[in-house]
């Protein structure tokens, strides 16, 4: 992992931008056998929906979101989500509403 000034990890980041229901790939699977380690994310939903964050858990729970509702998972030093190797990080929405935000992540073996 790259560091800034030899101590702070440099995280990769990507936009969260989808409006379809079902599975939405936020970070594509890394084909080098790495896991996606989500350190931080924020998002806003334009309408009511239930969001499910898919990582390596067998039965993730859905989070109900209201119209114009926001959600922040801030950096704590511990990852919020970790995928299995060669697996995308996905957010599932049960409604076709605009979801916008940003994700900060790293790749790890």
Q: Supply the DSSP symbol for 96.
A: -
Query: What pTM, to 2 d.p., does this model score?
Result: 0.88
pLDDT by residue (tens digit) across 53-101?
998 776 678 999 999 999 999 988 899 999 999 999 999 999 999 999 9
Strand partners, 13: 104
Please spell the DSSP secondary structure of 5-16, one letter per residue. TTTEE--EEEEE
Here the CATH number for the domain that contains residue 71 is 2.60.120
**How far is Cα 103 from Cα 109, in angstroms, rounded to an integer?**
19
Has residue 3 been placed in a domain? no
Q: Are 38 and 69 in contact (CB under 8 A)?
A: no
Has residue 50 been placed in a domain? yes
Strand partners, 82: 37
Would you say residue 4 has pLDDT above 60?
Answer: no
Has residue 2 been placed in a domain? no
Domain that holds residue 21: 11-108
**How far is Cα 82 from Cα 89, in angstroms, rounded to an integer?**
8
Beta strands in 20-98 (DSSP E): 22-27, 35-45, 49-54, 63-65, 69-73, 81-82, 89-93
């Amino acid at each position: 992992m790259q560091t800034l000034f030899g101590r702070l990890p440099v995280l990769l980041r990507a936009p969260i931008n989808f409006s379809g229901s079902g599975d939405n790939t936020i970070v594509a699977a890394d084909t080098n056998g790495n896991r996606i380690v989500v350190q931080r994310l924020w998002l806003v939903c334009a309408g009511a929906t239930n969001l499910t964050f898919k990582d390596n858990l067998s039965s993730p729970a859905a989070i109900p979101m209201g119209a114009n509702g926001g959600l922040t998972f801030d950096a704590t030093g511990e990852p919020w989500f970790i995928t299995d190797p060669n697996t995308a990080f996905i957010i599932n929405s049960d409604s076709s509403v605009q979801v916008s935000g940003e994700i900060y992540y790293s790749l790890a073996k």
